């Protein structure tokens, strides 16, 4: 295998050598199911779905675990604010995430453990850490002592003097840099019994327990967003190695989705929810957009970039469908060497997509010249490449929506003509005509939103 991956821990690109020949084990930090997923949440799911597809293509049997954090402070607070049971709130939003992953063609994980299902394993982990001198109990809480591990901070590069866990001050904590493994029960909160009293899991502990329970004490790849490097992944390493587990051999982190240079998050109020996004573009187009940048790069969101990506995908789709209708059935073909080289170079999707677009151009030229053999070969290669990226235009998942797409494109032509007329009227300060256009579109069930990239339209909900 020639695959090379950037390992955050090594700060370098390394040859990927699986722990077990012919098998790859991957753990992805999944959702904290506190609300409706936005595009920042699902980017890691798409990025590492492409990694998984490439590992499978390379002949590996892949065990892929993506966890669900179904108990934490935010879930409890939001459920309480809504007057709902915490478990119902978590389950409702877990379904929202599952729906979003499915809409975007993300393969179901081999296993999707919930934190609340692994409390027994967490208790055992804490017992091991206490026995080895890396953890201590105080007033029903359990803490990890960061000074007990000489190389604490090796993943993030944090020095001990600079460590701030972002946790509230606790009476029993010996050192403010220590982090919480277990939280003592509070009135009205859910709790589980332990040797140190009832309580609930700390965020970091759950992933170590789930990953090692399902993938073993040592596994190949641990994935997640770059915002998890510290403190979450740093603390996972500390508690896992402190307990005697070798843990992950490679650490991969995806970049954020940003707006105006800031990480997309609910707290910043710059969230673009998946249900809303799927009113603007098709699921396959959204997946193509979110997966088009290198996984380690930041992806700056804008309406213009989204629609440009959607148009780029439609050009690929149009070529494959034209060959399919004019020449005959298009079966997935050979992967070009340039595509293979790009994917083996740290899952280099931008270079891989350049190979896709180059093949489409060559295929269109062949089709125009009636060179059907060359056109069919090009379309087959495009299908094979796009399947690795999870966006094969002739995949049944995406093709079933093709008729809806053509109707949407026809409607888009008509609506755009009206929006152009409205834009001219506004330029000429003819507000009566501008308002007339907008009102007529509204009566037809079309909602117009003015953005920095121009007027955008969506169909109103019933």
267 pLDDT band, cuts 50/70/90, is low
* pLDDT tens column, 120-166: 999 999 999 999 999 999 999 999 999 999 999 999 999 998 899 98
Instruction: Please state, in angstroms and rounded to a whole number, the distance separating the CA atoms of residues 382 and 273.
Output: 30
| All domains of the chain in start order, with CATH | 4-254 (3.40.50.620), 262-399 (1.10.730.10), 402-459 (no CATH)
Is pLDDT above 90 for 260? no
Q: Which of 84-88, 221-225, 394-398, 438-442 has the lowest mean pLDDT?
A: 438-442
For 60, list phi and psi in degrees, rounded to 5. -95, 145
Residue among 392, 273, 288, 339 nearest 46 (CA): 288
Average pLDDT, the chain: 93
Instruction: Please state, in angstroms and rounded to a whole number, the distance separating the CA atoms of residues 444 and 432.
Output: 18
Buried b (16+ CB within 10 A) or exposed e, 411-422: eeeebeebbeeb
- pLDDT for 457: 82
Return left, alpha or beta for 269; rule: phi > 0 is left, psi -120 to 50 is alpha, else beta: left
458 pLDDT band, cuts 50/70/90, is confident
Angle ∠(83,266,308) on CA atoms, nearest 5: 135
- pLDDT for 310: 96
- pLDDT for 107: 98
Instruction: Please state, in angstroms and rounded to a whole number, the distance separating the CA atoms of residues 236 and 209.
Output: 9
Residue bearing the bigger pLDDT, 301 or 270 = 301
Instruction: Please state, in angstroms and rounded to a whole number, the distance separating the CA atoms of residues 291 and 353.
Output: 10
One DSSP character per residue, 224-272 reads EEGGGIIIIIHHHHHHHHHTT--EEEEEEEEPPEEETTEE--GGGT---
- pLDDT for 172: 87
Residue among 285, 287, 274, 290 nearest 307 (CA): 285
Is pLDDT above 90 for 246? yes
Task: For residue 426, give both structure tokens.
Answer: 């506004």
Average pLDDT over residues 9-20: 98
Q: Which residues contact 150 (CB under 8 A, 6 or more apart)?
A: none
One DSSP character per residue, 294-360 reads -TTS-EE--HHHHHHHHHHHHHHHHHHHHHHHHT------PPPHHHHHHHHBTS-HHHHHHHHHHHH
Q: Which residues contact 319 (CB under 8 A, 6 or more apart)?
A: 360, 363, 364, 367, 378, 379, 382
- pLDDT for 168: 78
Rounded to 10 degrees, the C-alpha dihedral 367/369/373/379 comes to: -20
- pLDDT for 415: 87
* pLDDT tens column, 354-412: 999 999 999 999 999 999 999 999 999 999 999 999 999 999 999 865 555 556 667 87
Average pLDDT over residues 329-334: 96
Three-state SS string over 88-128 comes to HHHHHHHHHHHHHHHHCCCCCCCECCEHHHHHHHHHHHHHH
Q: Which of 6-10, 42-46, 71-75, 420-424 has the lowest mean pLDDT?
A: 420-424
* pLDDT tens column, 156-180: 999 998 899 988 777 889 999 999 9
Contact (CB, 8 A) for 228 and 197: no
Q: pTM of the predicted model, to two decimals? A: 0.86
Average pLDDT over residues 418-439: 90
Map tokens 């722990």 to a residue: 19
Is pLDDT above 60 for 462? no
- pLDDT for 227: 94
- pLDDT for 400: 63
């Amino acid at each position: 295998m020639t695959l090379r991956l950037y390992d955050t821990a090594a700060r370098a690109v390394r040859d990927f050598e699986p722990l077990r020949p012919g098998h790859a084990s991957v753990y992805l930090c999944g959702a904290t199911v506190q609300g409706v997923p936005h595009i920042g949440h699902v980017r890691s799911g798409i990025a590492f779905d492409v990694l998984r597809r490439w590992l499978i293509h390379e002949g590996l049997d892949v065990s892929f675990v993506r966890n669900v954090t179904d108990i934490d402070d935010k879930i409890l607070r939001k459920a309480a604010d809504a007057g709902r049971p915490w478990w119902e709130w978590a389950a409702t939003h877990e379904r929202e995430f599952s729906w979003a992953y499915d809409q975007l063609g993300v393969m179901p994980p081999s296993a999707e453990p919930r934190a609340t299902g692994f409390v027994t394993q967490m208790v055992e982990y804490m017992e091991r850490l206490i026995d080895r001198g890396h953890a201590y109990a105080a007033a029903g809480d359990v803490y990890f002592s960061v000074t007990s591990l000489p190389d604490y901070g090796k993943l993030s590069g944090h020095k001990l003097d600079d460590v701030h866990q972002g946790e509230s001050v606790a009476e029993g904590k010996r050192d403010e840099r220590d982090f919480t493994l277990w939280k003592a029960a509070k009135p009205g909160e859910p709790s589980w019994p332990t040797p140190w009293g009832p309580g609930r899991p700390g965020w970091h502990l759950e992933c170590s327990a789930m990953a090692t329970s399902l993938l073993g004490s040592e596994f190949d790849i641990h994935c997640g967003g770059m915002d998890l490097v510290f403190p979450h992944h740093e603390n996972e390493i500390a508690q896992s190695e402190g307990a005697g587990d070798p843990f992950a051999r490679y650490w991969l982190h995806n970049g954020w989705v940003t707006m105006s240079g800031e990480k997309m998050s609910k707290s910043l109020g710059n969230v673009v929810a998946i249900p809303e996004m799927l009113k603007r573009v098709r699921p396959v187009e959204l997946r193509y957009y979110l997966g088009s940048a290198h996984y380690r790069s930041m992806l700056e969101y804008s309406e213009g970039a989204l629609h440009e990506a959607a148009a780029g995908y439609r050009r690929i789709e149009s070529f494959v469908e034209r060959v399919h209708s004019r020449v005959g059935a298009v079966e997935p073909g050979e992967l070009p060497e340039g595509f293979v080289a790009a994917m083996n170079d740290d899952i280099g999707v931008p270079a891989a997509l350049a190979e896709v677009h180059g093949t489409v151009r060559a295929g269109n030229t062949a089709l125009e010249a009636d060179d059907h053999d060359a056109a069919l070969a090009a379309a087959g290669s495009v299908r094979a490449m796009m399947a690795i990226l999870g966006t094969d235009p002739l995949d049944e998942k995406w093709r079933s929506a093709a008729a809806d797409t053509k109707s949407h494109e026809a409607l888009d032509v008509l609506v755009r003509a009206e929006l152009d007329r409205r834009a001219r009227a506004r330029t000429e300060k003819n507000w009566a005509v501008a308002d007339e256009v907008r009102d007529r579109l509204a009566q037809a069930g079309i909602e117009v939103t003015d953005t920095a990239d121009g007027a955008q339209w969506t169909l109103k909900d019933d």
